[in-house]
Structure 1
């Protein structure tokens, strides 16, 4: 009988100690979201880009890793995420003989992954092909 009581008490103490221990594991998705929102948002774009004879201009962008990047306003011409190094190339097709200006926006998506909570916008002059 003594052995049963001692065994039961030992088991009870072990269960109590394991239930009271702190859980130090963090959710990877929530830590990634908080790390992303703590990053300082930046946007490096050239002040101008030239179109080729087909009317295509490539704009090389640098921003935070996996940041959302888009070109244009209203009807978005191009919108994707930068790579894990923050690099992105925007491809714009337009009239090869007409000078224009486009807005390039980089942002951090909110927790829903869609709405951009922080953003920076810069203008890029698109030079016609020569």
Structure 2
């Protein structure tokens, strides 16, 4: 029997036009919800966040696909946990209103494995 390998996952996150159209109080609520989602990924069992990158200084406006606005790289124990991380976009509430985070941003999880190069 082989050991189950950890997945290396790049969460590619795009901010959409709804965020840019939001009035400042709503945008601040989105930012708080985004932080809750981000910390929620890190807090999932077995997840090790390896790093992140934000492209907001050299990219202006919404991101419908590559290049994405921000990235989170993590080792994740299994595909179910990857799905749970993505589901945080569907379930994280923005303020007291009816909207969830996925109204304002999207995620694509690129799942693979660590590349090990022998010397």
TM-score, structure 1 as length reference: 0.28
Give the helix-richer structure, 1 or 2: 2
Give the strand-richer structure, 1 or 2: 1
Higher relative contact order (CA 8 A, sep 6+): 2
- Between structure 1 and structure 2, the one with the greater Rg is 1
TM-score, structure 2 as length reference: 0.30
